[in-house]
Amino acid sequence: MYRYDQFDARFVAGRVAQFSDQIERRISGELSEDQFRPLRLMNGLYLQLHAYMLRVAVPYGTMNSAQLRKLAHIARTYDRGYGHFTTRQNIQFNWPRLDDVPQILSELAEVEMHAIQTSGNCIRNVTTDQFAGAAADEIIDPRPVAEIIRQWSSLHPEFTFLPRKFKIAITGAAHDRAAIKFHDIGLMARRNEAGEIGWTVHVGGGMGRTPMVARKLNSFVPHADLLAYLESILRVYNRYGRRDNKYKARIKILVREEGLASFREQVESEFSEVRGGVLSLPEDELNRIKTYFAPPEFKDSDARFDLAALKVSDPEFARFVVHNTHQHARPGYTSVTISLKPVGGVPGDATDTQMDIVADLVERFSFDELRVSHEQNLVLPHVAIGDVRSVYEALCAAGLGEANVGQITDMIVCPGLDYCALANARSIPVAQEISKRFGSAKRQEEIGDLKIKISGCINACGHHHGGHIGILGVEKRGTELYQITVGGDASENAAIGNILGRGITGEEVPDAIERLVEVYLGARSGADESFLNTLSRLGETPFREALYGND
């Protein structure tokens, strides 16, 4: 993975000093809260319902064991013993004291971590496929380019006060595991007719109160031109994005109001000016950055899982293998997903002890590499197949052995009204009830892969728009209600779910989900027809009727 050179280290140390000074000036009263807010947000510091929240960047979701141990230490020392992994592949600490933050940042800097641009109206942490550099279906490892984008966007002086936040996601595989079409810019690797690898650029996707699937802006931008192309998009957005209404300030609104063709024309015009300039990336330099991400020294092996045998001899482990491993590009290896969705637990949370245990596994079994997925799980990307049993046992001992990845209890859930100042309704308790309802392995196996996503308000941090079943918390006359959507999809076939009808209470949600699942199970053509396919074949009516009857 990328290692800081002296330059990076100095940059991050400078940033810690700068923000520490800003905190001091806030505490002394020199900075008003209005003046401090954008500064602290730019450094990942939110003011939540009960306390400050610090969001630490995990660039493109990649960490090593030392970094994870440091996060565990911070959770233990400065927080209440846990952290929350987010859909942006970051980690949030919910209870830091303002005057501890400089110390936390200093300690993070010791392991090449920071909180730069994890919030604020700037370019946020670049996210990617959690299996980058490991997946069998990958065209290219996107992380070298993600790292280049991260550096280019770090404290970019022109793009620090954009109309609104700006999120970039990048994937090197044709199967999108990074929800790139729900990002302001989504980059997907593509091989052109000449066999060269470049990037298809999508723009204007997003969740929130105006969900949109990104549109294709350019089908092939070569590596060399990518930064120039991104700078062109950002400049057009910075200059012309709306600033009169924060709900209409994302680039998706600009693209919609200008029209894709006109927006593309502006970007191309800008691109024609900056192309070939200082942002050009020479091929041999890209190769040099790639060496940071060189594959570890895999040992060739023909080890394979004998699932048929395992299902008989070791059914629990077999289930883990089926759901929690992902095909690796190298024979004899697999990527293991550690579910942070224990049945009845808080999705995405990990305790300091669990982080320490995972750090040990990262070091022993995964070439010191860990990933955070946008679905709020952790991933050991490079595990020898022969080691998976040991990993599984260690995970089970730590309460992390849930074999539910991709299943109905593997939900994306925002922190909701339990933490968040913006939320209208609680998310976590609803998720916990659904999780308990569908917790049995047998039940989940029967249902198959089904993605439920829950947001506590219209800002959609829980990605409900992209859930096969989405749950949105709303507030009506002081009551927390939940609207149910169906048909969302965050994959390369991105789609936004439709609301089925009026909101229902939290207590009613598990029954409602149960009824939707029953409609699906009863109507699907076979176990291999997905929920989305059944929905698409039948339409929404039977699902709506299952919730509301015929009225």
Partner 1 sequence: MEMIEHSSHTDAARRAGGESWLAAFGIMALNSMFGQKDASGVLRMAIEDLLVDDLAVVSSFGADSAVLLHMVCAINPDLPVLFLQTGRHFDQTLAYVKTLSDRLGLTNVQTLVPDSDQLARFDPDADLWKSDPDSCCHIRKTEPLDKALSGFGGWVTGRKRHQTQERGVLSHFELTDDKRIKVNPLAYWDEEDVAAYKKVHNLPEHPLFGSGFTSIGCAPCTSAVTTGEGARAGRWRGLNKTECGIHFDVNKRISPAMAKAELTLFRDGRFVADPWGKWVEGPAPSEARYAHVPLAQFVANRTAYLAGPHPLGLLVGAGDNVEEVASDLSRFSSIAIEFRTFTDGRGYSSARLLVERMGYKGELRAVGDVLVDQIPLMRRCGINAFVVGHAATRKALEQGVQSAIDVFMQPVGVDEIPLGTRCFLRRANHSNS
- Residue numbers at the binding site for partner 1 (CB under 8 A): 5-7, 10-11, 14-15, 17-18, 21-22, 25, 30-31, 35, 38-39, 121, 147-148, 151-162, 235, 238-239, 243, 273, 278-279, 281-282, 285-286, 288-289
> At what angle are helices 33-41 and 6-28 packed, to 10 degrees?
160
CB proximity list for 303: less than 8 A, separation 6 or greater: 332, 384, 385, 386
Q: CB-wise, 247 or 536, nearer to partner 1?
A: 247
Q: CB-wise, 159 or 333, nearer to partner 1?
A: 159
Q: Are 468 and 531 in contact (CB under 8 A)?
A: yes
Least distance (Å) between residue 218 CB and partner 1: 21
Least distance (Å) between residue 29 CB and partner 1: 10
Which helix or strand (DSSP H or E) is residue 73 part of?
helix 65-78
CB proximity list for 468: less than 8 A, separation 6 or greater: 450, 451, 452, 486, 487, 488, 489, 497, 530, 531, 532, 535
Least distance (Å) between residue 219 CB and partner 1: 24
Least distance (Å) between residue 135 CB and partner 1: 24
| Token pair listed for 195 | 């066999």
Q: CB-wise, 273 or 393, nearer to partner 1?
A: 273
Q: Are 505 and 520 in contact (CB under 8 A)?
A: no
Q: Are 87 and 125 in contact (CB under 8 A)?
A: no
Q: CB-wise, 284 or 507, nearer to partner 1?
A: 284
The one-letter amino acid at 242: R
Burial class (CB in 10 A: 0-12, 13-18, 19+), 220: middle
| Token pair listed for 361 | 């596994």
Count of beta carbons in the 10 Å neighbourhood of residue 35: 12
CB proximity list for 59: less than 8 A, separation 6 or greater: 2, 125, 126, 146, 147, 150
Q: CB-wise, 39 or 136, nearer to partner 1?
A: 39
> What is d(CA 392, CA 400) in angstroms, rounded to the nearest whole number?
9
Q: CB-wise, 66 or 286, nearer to partner 1?
A: 286
Q: CB-wise, 232 or 483, nearer to partner 1?
A: 232
> What is d(CA 177, CA 28) in angstroms, rounded to the nearest whole number?
45
The one-letter amino acid at 144: P
Least distance (Å) between residue 282 CB and partner 1: 7
Least distance (Å) between residue 108 CB and partner 1: 16
Least distance (Å) between residue 66 CB and partner 1: 19
Q: Are 134 and 329 in contact (CB under 8 A)?
A: yes
Q: CB-wise, 43 or 65, nearer to partner 1?
A: 43
Burial class (CB in 10 A: 0-12, 13-18, 19+), 13: middle
Least distance (Å) between residue 204 CB and partner 1: 19
Least distance (Å) between residue 453 CB and partner 1: 31
Longest distance between any two alpha carbons in the chain, whole Å: 69
Q: CB-wise, 38 or 542, nearer to partner 1?
A: 38
